[in-house]
Structure 1
């Protein structure tokens, strides 16, 4: 089987979609039944992956793979800036359609997989991964330019796809309802958790945590881009209602890129920081994340909508008790191993945060449940199920 795999979503800092694309890109070349893999970048063919999980212990393989596959840093910066301009995405849509279809003419007979929603024209079988439908279900949480590009490109990508993949059954059902896609055309495949995430003893976390002014087991963690859908404003408000002693013992640490539409949220963060019970670290290097997860007393993710919610799984794999939302796909991903609360119910959210931090009986049960759930959801399993979709599409 010959495969063309799009890598335009792989650029630092990695989002959840970028992580998904990178993990597949590193593993697919090792699959025996795939004879050849070519990587389609934003405007050209990318190089091969220099090293993957099988030949790398730690994050160095990730860094080298990103370097091999990603656009140059200067181009990524321009891309982020132009993605906020409606006229720019309209121009990009026209140009990229023509340019990428021309590139794909050199890959006749190959199966084409875009792990980031959108498919260019291809004379052969095509697969697209649809991670979520937040842009149509919660349009107010996205910039206008992004909504415009989705409007231009998404429907035709659905029509071009031989098969669609979603991260969860929850999103699969939304795709069937919202777009009338035939059920047999959509397969849900859960994402995985990187082997970099796992329990780490306090003595091994000390260096990174001390440099950040933190101590092992002495903070609650949330990792999310600062954007409306993550409901960080509700998390901060509920955390501010916890007893002073709890907030003092376990300040809330936020990690994430700046995102968009977040001016009121930034003011909330500044206010809570001034009161001493919140720390905003911004974006942190990828190699620090496993330590920051493992050193936390608890993890909280209160999004109103996700396609999967990788941080929930990363926290569980790190041996950390988790609270997440009772809506969207989060209960499906948590698999009964996390506390749940509705992000728009402040009383429930505050009560569950208090339990997350102080109920030692529940916490002692949550850790092994979370570890077991994380062991079920590996990237190798995700790749195997994805290749099964390729096999089906190629056979048809």
Structure 2
């Protein structure tokens, strides 16, 4: 049996895409007959999978306060990986898996998941202070890890081209949508619609952090091109943290809010999100760069049409089940939004195709491919 230690530092509130990946993967691995699974959370090894609680965490305030100190942050950055290495050094029979890029120094049996290479290909999409550090640490991980896992063939290709990595040492383990994302009746979602003052199938949805690579500006510009009656009858609902803003983005947010065609929810509770998906008229995702694109898969599983960009890994995920455009094709997005509203037959074909496409992805398959990576590492040391 393969003895695995999975890092779960990313399983925390708010549960981002990487945190959700680690959580769903862990649940599948726990059911595997070929894996003996433990977790490294902080500096503790446990058999209990952490839960990303959405209630207040008394330790978070102190942590954020300490992070504001440059000296404390620098000491933490330098010493913490070695503290993890010390803990793991006592578990030499285990394979260590980092689901979030980073592997501590001096770890022999190791696997790391690379979700994308945006800090290398699109450094302008990240805060300047983060880019140099991430590039440096990710290069170290490529050198340290015995096998790398990616979410998509697209990211695998990037890894091989950028780092000259042996293709046999990169395993693709596609992500999946959880069972919470499924078509629902109006009666099932009415409490959430009432909470956010929305109407069933009378809005388009975007979910994700508001940051440059998500291309929100193009989305707002496309919506602004719709006639006023259409966009007020089918407002754009945006769910996600505001990571970045610029002057034009701020102007369009204000314009959309003032004219009644934009509703910004901020962070949405995880139990509300699947209900919002299934209640929407369609899902919009004009992202410039994705390592996978989990939101479009969740939208298809929820039984709503998807309009997205044709960039990076997104065609690999949606197949022929979505309407795709070049990332900056403002007019194209506007026309597709109108098409979904006006053509019932197109809408229904896209719903059926999306549901079928989503069935091709499962967390069970993701776990199987990940175990394949573990097995490759184990064979290196046999």
Partners in 2 of 1:40 and 1:71 — Cα distance?
22
Aligned with 2:168 (options 165, 168, 184): 184
Q: Tell me the equivalent position of 1:223.
A: 207
Q: Tell me the equivalent position of 1:7.
A: 8
Aligned with 2:102 (options 103, 118, 142): 118
Cα distance, 1:84–1:389 mapped onto 2, change above 3 Å? farther
Offset of residue 42 of structure 1: 2.9
Q: Tell me the equivalent position of 2:260.
A: 276
Partners in 2 of 1:80 and 1:309 — Cα distance?
29
User: Does 2:324 align with 1:340?
Assistant: yes
Offset of residue 280 of structure 1: 0.3
Offset of residue 79 of structure 1: 5.5
Partners in 1 of 2:73 and 2:343 — Cα distance?
49
**Unaligned segments of structure 1, at least 5 residues:** 50-63
Offset of residue 65 of structure 1: 2.8
Q: Tell me the equivalent position of 1:163.
A: 147
1:150-197 CA-to-partner distances (Å, cap 9, x unmatched) read 133111110111110111111111111112111111122210100011
Q: SS of the residue aligned with 2:340?
A: helix
- What RMSD, in angstroms, separates the aligned Cα atoms of the two structures? 2.2
Deviates more, 1:4-13 or 1:357-366: 357-366
State the aligned residue count. Answer: 379
1:315-346 CA-to-partner distances (Å, cap 9, x unmatched) read 10010000111111111111111000112122
Q: Tell me the equivalent position of 2:128.
A: 144
TM-score by length of 1: 0.90
Offset of residue 75 of structure 1: 4.2
Cα distance, 1:348–1:86 mapped onto 2, change above 3 Å? farther
Cα distance, 1:355–1:283 mapped onto 2, change above 3 Å? same
TM-score by length of 2: 0.93
Partners in 2 of 1:158 and 1:77 — Cα distance?
33
Q: Tell me the equivalent position of 1:52.
A: none
User: Does 2:362 align with 1:378?
Assistant: yes
Offset of residue 310 of structure 1: 0.8
Cα distance, 1:314–1:241 mapped onto 2, change above 3 Å? same
Cα distance, 1:316–1:389 mapped onto 2, change above 3 Å? same
Cα distance, 1:244–1:41 mapped onto 2, change above 3 Å? same
Q: SS of the residue aligned with 1:9?
A: coil
